[in-house]
Amino acid sequence: MDAFMENPVAVMLSDPILWIGLWYGLLLTLQIAALSIVLSFAFGTVLGAMRYSGLPVVKHFAATYIEVVRNLPTLLLILTSYFVLGLPAMWAATIGLTIYTSAIIAEVIRGGLNSVPTGQWEAARSQGFSFLQSMRHIVLPPAVVKMIPPIVSQFVTVIKDSSFAMAIGAYELMFKGTILAATFWRPSQIITIYVVISIIYFTINFIISTIARSLQARLSVGRGSIGS
């Protein structure tokens, strides 16, 4: 037992400093990711609807935004938000991730809307539905089921990409782990810290993916096959 407690890894894992540091880093990671997901979903949905609309000016504006933003590195957007806009580190990371992710979500939304047969639009118009009513009652329900996998996949990417915030000094999970790795400097301790961080990321993303698959299966009941 004494020999075990003298093991550097065991000593580190029994130190509350490690777990407190990782906990606060995780909280900031989840805060950045949650805000980015909510904002990007809202803006991405609007952009996707704009790209799908028949209004040329609106459609081209959305298309230009999407094509420009999704071909830029996420880290560049975060650095721009921090150094150019002068935002605090947490908000710079959130805005940078939101700008990029909203463009990806917009394409997912547009693809989902395009997958709906034109006959459903015609049926809605024949019933006197407006564009918004057609979207809400006829088009979106089947489209949403098909959108869930790529949207969740992108949200998982957001959680992982939140680690870019360490480049601007945000004390998120990866940055906290790096600081702790400098504190517990032995190679075995450093490796263990990053293994623990990997497990944390995997657990969060696995839970999100599992919930999404369950939700997709529940929503797809009665709608036929939607693919794997």
Q: Could you tell me the fold of the domain covering 2-219? A: MetI-like fold (1.10.3720)
pLDDT digit of tens for each residue in the chain (228 aa)? 454 457 889 989 989 999 999 999 999 999 999 999 999 999 998 898 888 877 889 899 999 999 999 999 999 999 999 999 999 999 999 999 999 999 999 999 888 888 777 777 777 777 777 777 777 777 777 777 778 888 888 999 999 999 999 999 999 999 999 999 988 888 899 999 999 999 999 999 999 989 888 887 777 665 544 343
Q: What is the pTM for the complete model shown?
A: 0.85
Strand extents, DSSP E, 45-192? none
Contact 151, 42 (CB under 8 A): no
Cβ 25 vs Cβ 173: under 8 Å: yes
Please state the φ and ψ torsions of residue 15, each to the nearest 5 degrees: -90, 120
Ordered by start, the domain boundaries in the chain are 2-219
pLDDT of residue 192: 94
